[in-house]
Chains A and B, each alone.
Chain A
């Protein structure tokens, strides 16, 4: 049992790494009494001496001076980089802020389409046309035809407003699907009105009639309203 214990600790004994003096004394005593363990200790000592001889022979081995020079130039380069950024951080931060503000403005406004500068008459949103069994109801103003030229339907009347008096055009979808739109005042040739089925006088002449055309969001004319004064005098 003592030999097995000795074999485990023989290297530490040979290297003088055991701090317990009582244990060291006990192991040396065993080595003197046991020839096999004595031989083990001698061998471990020889190995230790050999390794120490190697360590002593290499004790003066050092990295060549070129390594130190290379490291010093690396250190100087690193310091220059740090100094460069140290002096520039305010400028870099300011640039970053400007970019961020620019991006925020672009995100808010940049995606909106360019406004058309053409003089278009804009009107407030038109209230949805009331439905009544598929018929379009447009308020009728006094003196304006209330008959659709294509269907001959009579449109019903409610309280007069700024959108009253429009007659649905024959090829349009009517006013059912109209949400918002624009009213554009135009001069329409009498002949054109006649071709659309409107009962006009002097259709063969080249004269014009002033009218308001209701144009839907899709750009398609939905209805037409004739100027009442002109209509009275000329139609």
Chain B
């Protein structure tokens, strides 16, 4: 797979120290990197720091990116993912907890009915909360494939795993997410005095 059209030229310019090329690259990719970090951490400040770190890495050593190993977007998401994992490790959040590992082995989920249940804004906030409570190993595939619309192949490049692993992990992540959303809806449906 090759880089996006234009990325190669801008990278070459960046290697030569061209500021305009860096700005073009940054503006093209910063939004996605920032959002990925935001969906993973739930914290705008952390997302900001991670975005900065990702592009500082690119400035420091643009030659680290090898076009033969995937797109520049995958490369930047890979750095972003490493930064997120370092942050989570610092906060002592496991990639997959024991319960979720058991779930990954095939625990069935109850049915979920989101249709017509909630107002749009409520739904969005509820989904955001549910995504943030997913274990990081599942959260990242949801953030990459569902929220950033990455292909399985591209997600596999970022996560450095097989495409089949991405597919199965996403399936389990979505099942788990449905369960969490159901639980959140039950909590929200209760009268305020009961909560």
Contact = CB atoms under 8 A, between A and B. Distances in A.
B52 A53 contact: no
A56 B120 CA distance: 12
Interface in A38-72: 39-40, 42-44, 46-55, 57-59, 61-64, 67-68, 70-72
Nearest to B22: A75
Interface in B18-42: 19, 22-23, 26-27, 30-31, 33-35, 38-39
A44 B146 CA distance: 12
B30 A11 contact: no
B147 A55 contact: yes
Nearest to A66: B48
B55 interface: yes
Contact of A67 (B51, B124, B147): B51
Interface stretch (B1-9, B65-73, B93-101, B106-114): B106-114
Interface in A1-26: 8, 11-12, 15, 17
A160 B19 CA distance: 92
Nearest to B152: A17
Interface residues of B, number: 47
Interface stretch (B83-91, B171-179, B186-194): B171-179
B47 A63 contact: yes
Interface in B42-79: 47-48, 51-52, 55-56, 59-60
B34 A61 contact: yes
Contact of A53 (B47, B124, B167): B124
B12 interface: no
Interface stretch (A76-84, A110-118, A206-214, A223-231): A76-84
A86 B138 CA distance: 47
A143 to B, nearest CB: 91
A28 to B, nearest CB: 18
Nearest to A40: B111
Contact of B112 (A47, A57, A59): A47
B111 A43 contact: yes
A163 interface: no
Contacts of B136: none
Interface string B147-162: 1110010000000000
Nearest to A68: B26
Given A44-B174, A54-B127, A71 B39 contact: no
A71 B55 contact: yes
Contacts of B39: 58
Contacts of B131: 51, 54
A74 interface: yes
Contacts of B35: 58-59, 61
Contacts of A53: 120, 123-124, 127
B11 interface: no
A82 B51 contact: no
B174 A54 contact: no
Contact of A42 (B115, B127, B167): B115
A55 B31 contact: no
A173 to B, nearest CB: 72
A11 B60 contact: no
Given A47-B181, A82-B17, A55 B112 contact: no
Given A43-B112, A50-B181, A62 B34 contact: yes
23 contacts: A8-B171, A11-B171, A17-B152, A44-B174, A46-B115, A47-B174, A50-B124, A53-B127, A54-B124, A55-B146, A55-B149, A58-B35, A58-B38, A58-B39, A62-B30, A63-B31, A63-B34, A67-B30, A67-B48, A71-B55, A72-B22, A74-B59, A75-B19
3 nearest interchain CB pairs? A46-B114, A51-B146, A63-B34
